[in-house]
């Protein structure tokens, strides 16, 4: 028995499995807290990129959904290879759309969680020296006083 292989379906399955692998790695790194702030992967928005802590919180919140998206894509890839005809392409497209939907939803939750992280305030210690004002901080020491 000769199995007819459609090149388009194999390419679709490879793309689906590649996306699954990407989201599996990103989700696993994020859920373990080892995904560092970067310019390529992870939940990236203004709220998440303002600090390392906000990025870590957003990605830890989104990680279970990213892992679920990877699972959806693995199932879609298996169905793409296992079903003959153009139904295989339909399974690939539906799997990618469903995974993108899941990742979009959990990314929105991650951005909301990152927005709840308090901002680092560089002036937290302002007013604790004898000067009492941030603008006078350098004037208080004897080394910076001009004669």
pTM given for the model: 0.77
C-alpha–C-alpha distance, residues 57 and 118, integer Å: 12
pLDDT exceeding 90 applies to what percent of the chain? 67
Side-chain-side CA neighbours of residue 114 (13 Å): 28
- How sure is the predictor about 92, in pLDDT bands with cuts at 50, 70 and 90? very high
Tell which residue, 69, 72, 74, has the closest CA to residue 23. 69
Query: Tens of pLDDT along 45-89?
Result: 999 999 999 999 999 999 999 999 999 999 999 999 999 888 999
CA-based torsion, 30, 33, 34, 37: positive or negative:
positive
Residue 63 · residue 33 · CB < 8 Å: no
């Amino acid at each position: 028995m000769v199995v007819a292989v459609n090149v388009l379906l194999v390419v679709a399955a490879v793309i689906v499995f590649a996306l699954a692998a990407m989201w599996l790695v990103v989700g696993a790194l994020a859920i373990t807290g080892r995904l560092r702030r970067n310019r390529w992967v992870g939940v990236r928005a203004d709220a998440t990129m303002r600090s390392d802590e906000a990025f870590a919180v957003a990605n830890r919140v989104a990680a279970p959904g990213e892992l679920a998206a990877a699972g959806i894509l693995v199932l879609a890839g298996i169905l793409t290879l296992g079903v003959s005809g153009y139904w295989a392409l339909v399974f690939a497209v539906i799997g990618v759309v469903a995974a993108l939907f899941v990742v979009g939803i959990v990314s929105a939750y991650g951005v909301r969680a990152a927005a709840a992280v308090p901002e680092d305030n560089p002036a937290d210690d302002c007013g604790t020296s004898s000067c009492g004002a941030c603008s006078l901080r350098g004037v208080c020491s004897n080394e910076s006083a001009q004669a």
